[in-house]
Amino acid sequence: MGAVCIEKMAGDGESSGRRRIEIGRLEAAGEDDPPPSPRMTGKRREEPDPFGFAVGQKRSRTAGDDAAAPHPHPQGSCCAAPSSSSVSVGEACARAIGSTSRLAPAEHPIAFGSISLSGRSREMEDAISVRPGFFRAEGSPPLHFFAVFDGHGGAHVADLCKERLHILLAEELGRAETEEEAWMRAAVGRSFARMDELALTACACGKVGMPPCGCERSGIESEIVGSTAAVAIVSGSRIFVANCGDSRTVLSRGGRAVPLSSDHKPDRPDELARIEAAGGRVIYLNGARVHGILAMSRALGDKYLKPSVISEPEIRVVERTGEDECLIVASDGLWDVLPNDLACDVARRCLEEADPTRESEDTLGGDSRGAMDGREEEQASDARCSLAATLLARLALGRKSADNISVIVIDLRRKQR
């Protein structure tokens, strides 16, 4: 893989010079694909761009916060490469960065970066939701919401989750009488149940709710559609992770990868027992599948496979420590080809290079955190989170991931007060 270059213009009264970030070669990516066969030459216009950009009439979704207007490629709010009539692969990767930590409350900032690509799949069924400061109880610091939804059978359930789940969760948290862990768990569970009810009434045409839609796309075409949900709620002292499906959340702590979720696969012993107790079957057809159809045992939606497939999330709560480095939330398009420790190592190295104290300590021989003001430090960390997410997606593509790839990287090195 050639070097990837990102050029960022300084703004808001800052110097107008350009800051150039260079990424070394990743030999493990191995993007030397064999040339297309003569049979496929005539279909080149129909092939999906591996970076998720629109080719011909192919659909592509944005990756940052939820923009209403369509856009030809994932949006980046702080690190967009200059436009050019001739776009290299590296530039395309840079332009796929999406990062919006500037939306977080100014007194409680959190840095993150995200990317969502269709990859080598013809359809884009993933969705990302990043909602910094989505809920704040009186007298408490804000909570930040990050989620990856990996749709199957269609995109409308994942899109619906992207637009609604954080709203439902905020409503449930607003009814909380205390901030105890048990109440948080109950609020998350209720929001997933309400989201599943909405997903079951959603039609592939876009209509949601009762009475049921009677269009030609209703019925079985809508009833076999569902989505995973990997949700991370980050506060100043804790991380709440809710997982439903085979997307995954992994914490990098003290140089080690700590998985915070367990994939819901039909052949997982406890899931297999639950499916069979509900009257379902697990059939091995290109891997373990519920009734030979779905390769996961939990999901939102999937009306046709109820009650074997349930929407109840598994929830885990961890206390934040000074050793926490970053959190990665991603779809199986990443995890199918990258082990947890490698993904955390890539993200951690990107963030370490952005540490403003490193260069200052090396040159001045001491702690000079004040040399870079808080705003510049947040922008640098935000850019590196975006860079880490992009590198992980690029590495997954180089390792021949055949699925959509969605990644969120969250910087945990600064704890909120």
What is the Cα–Cα distance from 55 to 332, expressed in whole angstroms?
A: 24
Token pair of 3, please? 């070097």
Task: Please write the tens of the pLDDT for every residue from 208-260.
Answer: 767 676 676 666 666 889 999 999 999 989 999 999 999 999 999 999 999 99
pLDDT at 274: 97
Facing residues of 319 across strands?
238
pLDDT at 189: 96
* pLDDT averaged over 10-residue windows placed end to end, the chain, 417 residues: 39 40 38 43 41 36 37 35 34 40 56 93 94 89 95 93 96 79 91 95 74 68 87 94 98 96 97 96 95 96 94 96 96 97 96 60 45 59 89 96 96 72
| Radius of gyration of the chain, Cα coordinates, nearest whole angstrom | 21
The size of the chain, in residues, is 417
Q: Residues 6 or more apart from 385 whose CB is under 8 A from it?
A: 99, 101, 111, 112, 113, 326, 350, 351, 409, 410, 411
pTM of the predicted model, to two decimals? 0.73
Q: Count Cβ atoms below 10 Å from residue 378 Cβ, excluding itself.
A: 20
Tell me whether residue 361 is exposed, middle or buried, using C-beta atoms within 10 angstroms of its C-beta: 0 to 12, 13 to 18, 19 or more.
middle
pLDDT at 375: 59
pLDDT at 138: 82
pLDDT at 61: 36
pLDDT at 382: 72
Task: Return the CATH number of 4-264+299-377+385-411, one of 3.60.40.10, 3.30.70.260, 2.60.40.10, 3.40.50.2300.
Answer: 3.60.40.10
Task: Please write the tens of the pLDDT for every residue from 171-181.
Answer: 999 887 666 78
Domain residues of the chain, as ranges?
4-264+299-377+385-411
Task: Please write the tens of the pLDDT for every residue from 248-294.
Answer: 999 999 999 999 999 999 999 999 999 999 999 999 999 999 999 99
